[in-house]
């Protein structure tokens, strides 16, 4: 059984890596700083390590999907990230893709025995 769990962990890790991007982009219609995003996502059931999220935010910014601004008015300076116009566009397209992946996979999972039955 522990063997199965090990395999599960590995596959889940890969699966999460891709979905985190969508999760992060979805929350950035309003400006957020890194740690507020970590808390926000974990409240909604998506657990992200800060060590993964911070480099990811920076990469999105470099790609032009996010824009950032330092807020130095608060007690501690924070870097806020927000979706750029390109970012919004990319996110909308991603959502469409995501829905179609979910639909296809659901179809596959629910009909997993059909082919065999059909042939027999």
Binding site residues, other proteins, CB under 8 A? 33-35, 39, 49-52, 54-55, 58-59, 70, 76-79
Q: Are 83 and 25 contacting, i.e. CB atoms less than 8 angstroms apart?
A: yes
CB of 76 to other proteins, least distance (A): 5
CB of 2 to other proteins, least distance (A): 21
CB of 45 to other proteins, least distance (A): 18
* Radius of gyration, alpha carbons of the chain: 19
Residue 33 or residue 91: which is nearer to other proteins going by CB?
A: 33
Other C-beta atoms closer than 10 Å to the C-beta of 119 total 6
Q: Residue 116 carries which DSSP code?
A: H
């Amino acid at each position: 059984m522990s063997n199965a769990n090990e395999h599960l962990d590995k596959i889940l890790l890969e699966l999460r890596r891709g979905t985190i991007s969508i999760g992060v982009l979805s929350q950035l219609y309003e400006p957020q700083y890194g740690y507020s995003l970590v808390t926000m996502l974990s409240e909604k059931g998506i657990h992200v390590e800060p060590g993964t999220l911070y480099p990811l935010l920076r990469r999105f910014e470099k790609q032009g999907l996010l824009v950032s601004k330092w807020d130095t008015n608060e007690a501690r300076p924070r870097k806020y990230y927000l979706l750029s116009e390109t970012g919004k566009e990319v996110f909308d397209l991603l959502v469409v893709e995501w829905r179609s992946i979910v639909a296809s996979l659901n179809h596959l999972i629910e009909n997993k025995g059909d082919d065999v039955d059909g042939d027999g």
